Amino acid sequence: MSTFSAPKGTYDLIPPDSEAFLAVREALAAPARRAGYGYIETPTFESTALFSRGVGESTDIVSKEMYTFTTRGGASLSLRPEGTASVLRAALERNLHKQGLPVKLWYSGSYYRYERPQAGRYRHFSQVGAEALGAEDPALDAELITMAVDAFTGLGLSQVRLLLNSLGCRACRPVYRAALQEFLRSVDLSFLEPDDEADIRRRIEINPLRVLDDKRKAVQERLAGAPLMADHLCEECKAYHEQVRSLLTDAGVRYEDDPKLVRGLDYYTRTTFEFVHDGLGAQSAVGGGGRYDGLSEMIGGPALPSVGYAIGVDRTVLALAAEGVELTLPARTRVYAVPLGEEARRTLFGLVTELRRAGVAADMAYGGKGLKGAMKSADRSGAAFAVVAGERDLAEGVAQLKDLTSGEQTPVALTELVTTIKEKLS
């Protein structure tokens, strides 16, 4: 055992569990690929200012959870806590927005937040996301939401709920903000610890919508009479939101209107949505997103109305477990070679190489294992067939092909092994 262990709040992905994570990532990405989204990969760390300006200084992510460090040259960098700001930065830097709109991108990677570790919440986590940049169209909002729904459905999940809301625009949001601040300033928060109360009071002045996102039951009870954004939407935002709702209904997507849904980031406007799974306990959100029409200008770019989402791979895996859904995973090994002797080792090494090049997952026993130990390894590998060869077999120009399910074993000419195996596997 090593004297080192993974940092608190992180995890190692190892076989066979890692196979499920890979399958989930592929399933979450598939709808985006089918919808014409291209893959983008950005650095693990970015300028701290990108997140403080884009994500919002009033958010817990920026104020409490970012991993920030100073380089030898004095620059402040942070491990990325989310993907949208990085994707938008890269698109602007590479002038993708000048090559036709909307720019459709999807991504997958690890993200980092200094949170209190618990089931479903880690300091290092994996997400798959998609962004549509440069078009203000309710059909794009509906497209992205439908893509995420199709991803969950494709994995076999049936208990994921979609929550939907609108956060308004630059015209109607300030009116609502003022009304919400007036209400919140009168709320009695003396039951909280002094630091917690001070934190909420600060949010009331900087971004009062974030107070609605507080998950503490006692706080939520005191917000029961808070004004709602839905009652303050301008006519244009109302019409936009109704189009999104109508398009989702036409696509057969079920949703629940949640007038208090604000998400945890400052950049959202208009359409806001979240996917939750009640089988995950306190960390019920498996993904979410929304429209962020002003983010490009916040980070120094041109007006570029956009919409996107991110889905947690870790929580999706937990949701599958909560529903008892077992994924059908491809076998890592279909054929396992067992050489008995040096000459057989050379011959079967060539066979394994030929099988792999023919597209067949193959492995072999290494380290001079005896027949008994090698066959145990073959069983553990999950292979469908074992190929066993010794000196007598090679002298006769054959190898023994054993069906590891039925136990049936037949001699097959070495020159016909690859063809025979491929036929049996098909």
DSSP, res 121: B
User: Position 279: which residue type?
Assistant: G
Residues 6+ apart with CB under 8 A from 290: 167, 263, 268, 269, 270, 271, 272, 273, 307, 308, 309
**1 token code pair:** 């055992």
**Closest to 115 (Cα-Cα) out of 58, 64, 68, 48:** 64
Q: Are the beta carbons of 296 and 306 closer than 8 angstroms?
A: yes
User: CA-CA distance, 338 to 336, in Å (whole number)?
Assistant: 7
Take residue 99 and report the two structure tokens written for it.
Answer: 């090559």
Residues belonging to the binding site are 82-84, 113, 127, 131, 263, 267-268
- Beta-sheet pairing, 38-39 with 103-112: parallel
The CA distance from 120 to 115, in Å, is 11
Residues making up the binding site for L-histidine:
82-84, 113, 127, 131, 263, 267-268
Per DSSP, 57 falls in state T
Q: 172 and 253 in contact (C-beta within 8 Å)? A: no
State the Cα torsion 325-327-328-330 to the nearest 10°. Answer: -170
CB-based burial, 367-391: b 16+ in 10 Å, e otherwise: eebeeeebbebbeebebbbbbbbbe
Helices (H), 38-103: 48-54, 60, 84-93
